[in-house]
Amino acid sequence: MQNILVIGAGKSTGILVSYLQEKSVEHQFTITVGDVRLEQAEQIIGNHEQSNAISLDILDKNDLTQYVDQATVVISMLPARFHIHVARVCLKLKKHMVTASYVSEEMQALDHMVKESGLVFMNEIGVDPGIDHMSAMQVIDRIRAEGGKMILFESFTGGLVAPQSDNNLWNYKFTWNPRNVVVAGQGGVAKFIQEGKYKYIPYQRLFRRTEFLNVPDYGTFEAYANRNSLKYRDIYGIQDVLTLYRGTMRRVGFSKAWNVFVQLGMTDDSYILEDSSTMSYRDFMNSFLPYHPTDSVELKLRHNLKIDQDDVIWLKLKELDLFNATKKIGIVDATPAQALQKILTEKWSLDKDDKDMIVMYHKFGYELDGKKHQIDSTMVVQGENQVKTAMAKTVGLPVAMAAVRILTGEISTPGVHLPIKEEIYTPILKELTQYGIEFTETKVPYLGYNMEDVTP
């Protein structure tokens, strides 16, 4: 009997393993879940007869080698930086591998050897990246098959709270890794192309240039640019496209308020705050403002950023308890970003009865028979509870579906892959509809590109 090894018992692993358990009898395989926290792995597998939990430290090479050697397919649900450690062992032992993360340069460098070994290393098969790739390529390939020429492609994804759990002024809570939210957009300039012209948005302008989107039954959202949209010309085979833009979705008003933190420097992760462990929230805020012998922290902030006292941005900042003089950061040698994350986590963690939501929106503009056309495609998935979250479903299910298809030989082309080929995306997208993960397409008049350049 073959074995699928799942490394990492995180938030998406439960739904992933449940799917594998459902398929294990039909396809005759066992499931091994490994994590440094054995009790977490044990909780995920439950009492399933064909599943077992192990304590696994991937930095222990002997331990990792032992369990990878017993597997046919290895699924890495670890933080992205650890995938390469697993990949090298999989390559050495000739085992297939699946991850939900972006292909790193180190992973891509293994492509030749992976092909020579006849292995499949499937990456970017979660939600974003993952479902975004598959759903985009399904429509792009269809347009090309009909003789159309792509002239515009825009793609947006947001991990948000469901409407019934949307109960703060920011219309936002952390539904995934808070750190990724705090440092989003840093480390480079956002690059895209608009009507044939290259465009660049530096980090300090990122949250003041947004595109507005309406999702039927869910209202209006805004989106800010992802770091590098240009690379998707080659990935999707749309090198001649005139407009290409990928972004992250939030509720309207989030970006303008978030820009306060950016302008103050509170999202910086490059240096250490002195005495951060004893620093109060108020001291943290004050450390980014000019000295004044009499003005309060609140007054200095409003004056420096020209925020009126009745402005909703001011109300949003107060809601976060940023001016509390007794609460402490409590982190030794914290960066500004780490301190901000600590404060936000108190206010933006999901409550027990909260549900999350994944929203995805694609725009396809194309020419056919001398006319311009546009297709808008949307997907909304709401979580059921704190375990069966929308994020866990949209990440875990496609990963599991790909792993089973590699195990059964349905996905067999060797190499380091993204799920952009029809043989991969067609069956997986079809199966995802059984779990309520599906797109609604609407033909609309060609609208072109409508990003707003907002002045602070």
Own/partner pairs for 83-90, CB < 8 Å, 24+ apart?
Answer: 83/107, 83/123, 85/58, 85/59, 86/7, 86/58, 87/121, 89/61, 89/64, 89/65, 90/119, 90/121
Last residue of one domain, picked from the residues 100, 123, 146: 123
Q: Are 194 and 451 in contact (CB under 8 A)?
A: yes
Is residue 250 located within the same domain as residue 311?
A: no
Is the confidence at residue 393, as pLDDT, over 80?
Answer: yes
Is residue 58 located within the same domain as residue 26?
A: yes
Spatial CA neighbour of 360 closest among 419, 439, 251: 439
Last residue of one domain, picked from the residues 123, 144, 166: 123
Q: What is the pLDDT of residues 330-347, one digit of tens each?
A: 999 999 999 999 999 999
Is the confidence at residue 455, as pLDDT, over 60?
Answer: no
Q: What is the pLDDT of residues 114-130, one digit of tens each?
A: 999 999 999 999 999 99
Q: Please tell me the predicted confidence (pLDDT) of residue 449.
A: 65
Is residue 310 located within the same domain as residue 210?
A: no
Q: Answer yes or no: is 281 within a domain.
A: yes
CA end-to-end distance (rounded Å), the chain: 62
CATH of the domain at 25: 3.40.50.720
Is residue 234 located within the same domain as residue 368?
A: yes
Q: What are phi and psi of 382, to 5 degrees?
A: -105, 145
Is residue 252 located within the same domain as residue 361?
A: yes
Q: What is the pLDDT of residues 6-36, one digit of tens each?
A: 999 998 999 999 999 999 999 999 999 999 9
Is residue 107 located within the same domain as residue 185?
A: no
Q: Answer yes or no: is 288 within a domain.
A: yes
Cα three-residue angle 231-237-241, rounded to 5 degrees: 75
Q: Please tell me the predicted confidence (pLDDT) of residue 188.
A: 86
| Window from 177-191, 257-271, 273-287 with minimum mean pLDDT | 177-191
The model's pTM is 0.94
Q: What's the number of domains the chain is made of? A: 3
Is residue 111 located within the same domain as residue 197?
A: no
Q: Is 454 helix (H, G, I), strand (E, B) or coil?
A: coil
Q: Please tell me the predicted confidence (pLDDT) of residue 451.
A: 59
Q: What is the pLDDT of residues 133-152, one digit of tens each?
A: 999 999 999 999 999 999 99
Is the confidence at residue 300, as pLDDT, over 90?
Answer: yes
Q: Please tell me the predicted confidence (pLDDT) of residue 450.
A: 61
Q: What is the pLDDT of residues 198-222, one digit of tens each?
A: 999 999 999 999 999 999 999 999 9
CA distance 258 to 261: 6
Is residue 44 located within the same domain as residue 150?
A: no
Q: Answer yes or no: is 253 within a domain.
A: yes
Top-confidence residue, 448 or 429 = 429
Cα three-residue angle 53-58-64, rounded to 5 degrees: 75
Match 């910086």 to its residue by tokens.
268
Last residue of one domain, picked from the residues 102, 123, 144: 123
**Got the DSSP string for 33-98?**
EEESSHHHHHHHHTT-TTEEEEE--TTSHHHHHHHHHT-SEEEE-S-GGGHHHHHHHHHHHT-EEE
Is residue 293 located within the same domain as residue 174?
A: no
Is the confidence at residue 243, as pLDDT, over 60?
Answer: yes
Q: Please tell me the predicted confidence (pLDDT) of residue 347.
A: 96
237-244 average pLDDT score: 97
CA distance 350 to 347: 9
Q: Please tell me the predicted confidence (pLDDT) of residue 447.
A: 80
Q: What is the dihedral of CA 153, 424, 398, 404, to 10 degrees?
A: -170
Q: What is the pLDDT of residues 62-82, one digit of tens each?
A: 999 999 999 999 999 999 999
Q: Please tell me the predicted confidence (pLDDT) of residue 448.
A: 76
Is the confidence at residue 396, as pLDDT, over 60?
Answer: yes
Is residue 282 located within the same domain as residue 328?
A: yes
The overall average pLDDT reported for the chain is 96
CA distance 46 to 319: 40
Top-confidence residue, 456 or 111 = 111
Dihedral sign of CA atoms 238, 240, 243, 245 in order: positive
Is residue 109 located within the same domain as residue 148?
A: no
CATH of the domain at 181: 3.30.360.10
Provide the residue range defining the domain that includes 276.
272-334
332 CA to centre of own chain: 28
Which are the contacts of 180, defined by CB distance < 8 A and separation ≥ 6? none
Work out the number of other CB atoms within 10 angstroms of the CB of residue 386. 15
Is the confidence at residue 434, as pLDDT, over 50?
Answer: yes
Cα three-residue angle 230-235-238, rounded to 5 degrees: 70
